Amino acid sequence: MNKRFLKGSAIVGLSSALLLSACSSAGKQEQPAAGGSAAQDGPAKKVEFWYALSGSNGDVVKKIVEDYNKSQKKIQVEAVYVPQNERMEKLSVAVAAGNPPDLFTAGPPDLASLQGSHVLKSIDELAKTGSKKITKDDFLPVLDSVIVKDGTLWAAPISIGVTTTYYNENLFKAAGISKAPETWDQLVETAQKLTDSSKGQYGILLPTKEVQNTAEIWFSFLGQAGGRVLTEDNKKAAFNSEAGVKALQLWVDLIQKYKVAPLTQLDAANITQTFGAGKTGMFIGYPQWIETTKDFPFTTKTARLPKGEKYATSLGGWYLVVPAQGKNTEGAYEFLTWLMQPTNAVKWNVGMGNLPAEQKTLDTKEYQDYTKQTPLLEAFNTALKSDIQPFPATDKYGKLTVSVAKAIVSALYQKQTPKEALDAAAAEVNKLLAQ
């Protein structure tokens, strides 16, 4: 797995199916822990922090936790790694057993099932007795729809991300291409120029596995076509609209008609690895891949995703939440207030190549210096300001995305037309939403 893998958020409907998850799971497994070992004058109160970042991103988390533990003696944070594709199910099991962690990393889709339920304690409630206040005004306004529900703040985002086009500048120059595509038509034209079957070279890589990431990347194209995932009340599927068919037909054409993208089992991690081999012109990804691209034997650049009817991109990132049944929610909040201080938050974001969620962190000298040294960030910052396509607010999100991903793959393999595939997925999703 690529060391910078940080995408997507596998989701289980916690608020509606905790006991089912508890019964079906094999139970809580022992996890490797990381934390500071600074000497304590007295017994420190433990905070169990579940994080889902692996590789060098995980190393950043462990170093930050170590720094916090050394900075004071009242609280000892234990950082526990939980694999990204297992963490929501493990949280379900832990909550059902009355033994959840004190702090947890959630993605935007996860929050739809977590916030407003008995599972979490709101940040607003914790702030009433905390030594420092965290409020929604601390974060970029574009995040309000994700972290606030019914006027209450439920999560503290530590980092955010949007998708852009990564491209191999060396291949672009060799093909006589001066800039990244800005429209769908230009995307096709550019990918054709980059493709050379005699060299096993493709213009673009698209996710093709029946997994959440495939649907989430496609949702950007759905938004670009003027469509949406669900109806405004989130009660029915809307992705099988004319816009949805148009967006999926584009993907089918890139693979089947124009032959500019391979039809192999690709997901977020191996797409980046494949791109790094230097035989592909473009892929779509989050900012977490920036640091990885520095190891590639060619120059990588980024650009705003091309537009259909409009620009659109998917929102990602990590949002810290406090489970209500945690044994030390007050300690978790104290660590959270420390982590959200710009001098600490900037270490998280620069260390991982992320976009900070707080303006005051964006404004730090450390982050501004990092931005100057990392021109690949410019496209992400542009997209963040105006192009976000929100994920639907539903606790059925995980199953929904799998249904959509299966439809996408079915159409890509030409087992069904885009319309047939999306209609079938919409029927599944409508039944799911009606439960």
Question: What domains are defined for the chain?
Answer: 14-161+315-389 (3.40.190.10), 162-314+391-434 (3.40.190.10)
57: pLDDT confidence band, cut at 50, 70 and 90? confident
- Return the minimum-mean-pLDDT range out of 27-31, 106-110, 283-287, 293-297: 27-31
Most confident of 20-34, 111-125, 270-284: 270-284
16: pLDDT confidence band, cut at 50, 70 and 90? very low
Q: What does the pLDDT average to over 337-364?
A: 94
- Long-range contacts at 343-349 (CB < 8 A, ≥ 24 apart): 344/64, 344/67, 344/68, 345/158, 347/60, 347/63, 347/64, 347/67, 348/60, 348/61, 348/64, 348/158, 348/159, 349/158, 349/159
b/e 151-181 (16+ beta carbons within 10 angstroms → b):
eebbbbbbbbbbbbbbbbeebbeebebeebb
pTM given for the model: 0.80
pLDDT at 207 over 50: yes
Length of the chain: 435
Q: What does the pLDDT average to over 70-88?
A: 91
Q: Which of 36, 57, 101, 15 is nearest to 347 (CA)?
A: 57
pLDDT at 166 over 80: yes
* pLDDT at site 315: 85
* pLDDT at site 213: 87
Percentage, residues of the chain above pLDDT 70: 90
Contact 46, 328 (CB under 8 A): yes
pLDDT at 14 over 70: no
* Rounded Cα–Cα distance for residues 174 and 376 (Å): 21
Query: How many Å separate Cα 225 from the centre of its chain?
Result: 22
- Return the minimum-mean-pLDDT range out of 20-24, 136-140, 293-297: 20-24
pLDDT at 39 over 90: no
* pLDDT at site 4: 33
pLDDT at 31 over 70: no
pLDDT at 376 over 50: yes
What 3-state DSSP class applies to 244?
helix
* Rounded Cα–Cα distance for residues 426 and 65 (Å): 43
pLDDT at 281 over 70: yes
Residue whose tokens read 């989130």: 234
> What number of CA atoms fall less than 13 Å from residue 44's CA on the CB side?
24
Helical (H) or strand (E) element with 400: helix 397-412
24 vs 117, higher pLDDT: 117
- CA end-to-end distance (rounded Å), the chain: 36
With the C-alpha atoms ordered 327, 330, 335, 339, is the resulting torsion angle positive or negative? positive
Q: Give the mean pLDDT of the chain.
A: 88
* pLDDT at site 324: 96
* pLDDT at site 41: 56
* pLDDT at site 42: 64
* Rounded Cα–Cα distance for residues 208 and 423 (Å): 19
* Rounded Cα–Cα distance for residues 158 and 64 (Å): 13
* Rounded Cα–Cα distance for residues 367 and 262 (Å): 37
Q: Which of 291, 270, 313, 268 is nearest to 161 (CA)?
A: 313
Q: What angle do CA 161, 367, 290 make, to 5 degrees?
A: 45
* Rounded Cα–Cα distance for residues 117 and 232 (Å): 21
* pLDDT at site 43: 83
Strand 313-323 relative to strand 103-106, pairing:
antiparallel
Q: Which of 229, 268, 236 is nearest to 401 (CA)?
A: 229
262 vs 108, higher pLDDT: 262
* pLDDT at site 28: 36
* Rounded Cα–Cα distance for residues 237 and 421 (Å): 13
